[in-house]
Amino acid sequence: MRLLVTGGCGFIGSAFLRAALSRSSVERVVNLDVLSYSGRRENQSELEREARYRLVVGDIADAALVARVFQEEKIDHVAHFAAESHVDRSLFAAQAFVHTNVLGTLVLLEAARGAREKGRFERFLHVSTDEVYGDLGDTGDVFRETTPLSPRNPYSASKAGADLLALSYVKTHGLPLVVTRSSNNYGPRQFPEKLMPLVVTNALMDRQVPVYGDGKNVRDWLFVEDNAQGIFAAMERGRPGEVYNLGGENERENLTVVRAILAALGKPESLIQFVKDRPGHDRRYALDSRRAHGELGWKPAVTFEEGLARTVAWYRANEPWWRAIRDDSFDAYYERHYGKLGLKEQPTA
Ligand code: NAD
Ligand code: TDX
């Protein structure tokens, strides 16, 4: 397998790089990453010593660069993670989401189609999300792979656009492509704009922890290493043209998650501050993952309690990692976003 991973300096992509390089069936891994604000070179720096591995810094929407990588490296598999991934940023800067998530995906599909026509391309694994299905509201229902796409924010709309393009390449060009749609990931190396690492790092700094709305929105939490295993299984064993939901089977209200983190850190619940709700905030996501269980033989292995303990321990042990991110530019984002939502001034630690 000569594998191109996009977005391997990000949270899930870097976990996937480790999973891929641990397998002897993988002859070569090339990571194409533009090192955007959420791309961290240190997420993969120890891998740079591996002879089978190469980091290429560049944009997936740069067609000439992507064509060169395909040709030089004789790429026959793609695992496509690169994306603008944060819903809140898509509310005020949507253009980058279309550039990377839609246009970037198209460039990769075209490169794979070209390689396929030359007879040397085997699998394109497109990484998508449960958010493309929209919102379950307060119903007891779940999303199935057949649920119509109904995205409700610019992030999920751009991901849904990418999904449709990707699946169209199966029909029109016979591209052997598989899509995974996972639920919310958590674990080490997640950029601290997302709920869990934001709560952990704010609490470690004795800052208020912002909870949107009434805190009763439900997410289904999947430990990042379990997602990496599921994606690898889908790339190896998934049927071309098929979609696989990868759910964590850990539905929790946000407030429950926040309280569990504060308890694990020994911090008081008085740090919780309810702020104005996210516009268009999806109430609940939940996935039916029986197709992945049956066809891929995949199930999440890490319980929520174990995953949370490992996540909290990682942020405690890797303070230089998150301190380097929580700099002035992060504060500018934080004030711009949370100031509008009514977050109180931060008490000093
Ligand atoms: P992330 O923001 O941590 O990482 C994204 C990576 O993509 C970064 O390394 C960044 O530098 C890179 N990137 C961005 N634009 C690029 C471009 N134009 N060219 C090359 N590289 C670029 O994101 P993540 O949380 O690791 O998410 C990875 C994928 O998984 C995304 O496709 C996302 O939609 C999907 N996903 C995420 C979750 C989640 O809970 N985080 C859940 C389901 C699906
Ligand atoms: O400060 C916060 N306060 C808060 O209450 C933040 C950042 C979030 N929240 C809420 C919003 C959501 O209900 O917590 C929940 C989780 O929020 P995020 O971490 O922003 O994730 P979400 O919007 O659910 O999207 C995530 O899962 C699907 C990922 O960011 C996406 O990349 C993925 O596709």
- Model confidence pLDDT, tens digit, residues 190-221: 999 999 999 999 999 999 999 999 999 999 99
Coil, strand or helix at 284: strand
Confidence of residue 345 (pLDDT cuts 50, 70, 90): low
Ligand nearest to the CA of 216: 2
SS3 312: helix
Q: Which domains does the chain have, with CATH numbers?
A: 2-186+222-246 (3.40.50.720)
- Asked whether 36 lines ligand 1 (CB < 6 A), one says yes
Give the position, in ligand 1's atom list, of the atom nearest the Cα of 60: 19
Q: Could you read off the pLDDT of 88-131 as tens digits, one per residue? A: 999 999 999 999 999 999 999 999 999 999 998 999 999 999 99
Ligand 1 nearest-atom number relative to CA 40? 9
Mean pLDDT of the chain: 96
- Is residue 131 among the annotated active site residues? yes
Q: What percent of the chain has pLDDT over 70?
A: 99
What pLDDT does residue 106 have? Answer: 98
Q: Indicate whether residue 317 lines ligand 1 (CB < 6 A).
A: no
336 by Cβ neighbours in 10 Å (0-12 / 13-18 / 19+) ranks as exposed
CA 91 to CA 157: how far, in whole Å? 12
Is 315 one of the catalytic residues?
no
Catalytic position from the list 76, 130, 251, 282: 130
Could you give the CA distance from residue 122 to residue 76 in angstroms, rounded to a whole number?
Answer: 5
Residue to mutate, 100, 219, 283, ligand 2, most ligand atoms under 8 Å from C-beta: 219
> Quick check: 342 pLDDT over 90?
no
Element of type H or E holding 180: strand 177-182
Q: Is the minimum distance from the CB of 158 to ligand 1 under 6 angstroms?
A: no
Catalytic-residue membership of 130? yes
Does any ligand 1 atom lie closer than 6 A to the CB of residue 245?
no
Assign 346 a pLDDT band (cuts: 50, 70, 90). low
Q: How far is the CA of 217 from the centre of ligand 2 (A)?
A: 10
Closest residue CA from atom 44 of ligand 1: 129
Give the number of C-alpha atoms closer than 13 A to the C-alpha of residue 172, restricted to the C-beta side.
9
Q: Answer whether residue 347 shows pLDDT above 70.
A: no
Helices 195-204, 304-317: crossing angle, 10 deg rounding:
50
pTM comes to 0.98
78 token code pair = 């793609």
Q: What's the whole-number mean pLDDT along residues 289-306?
A: 98
Active-site hit among 33, 88, 131, 225: 131
Q: How far is the CA of 195 from the centre of ligand 2 (A)?
A: 5
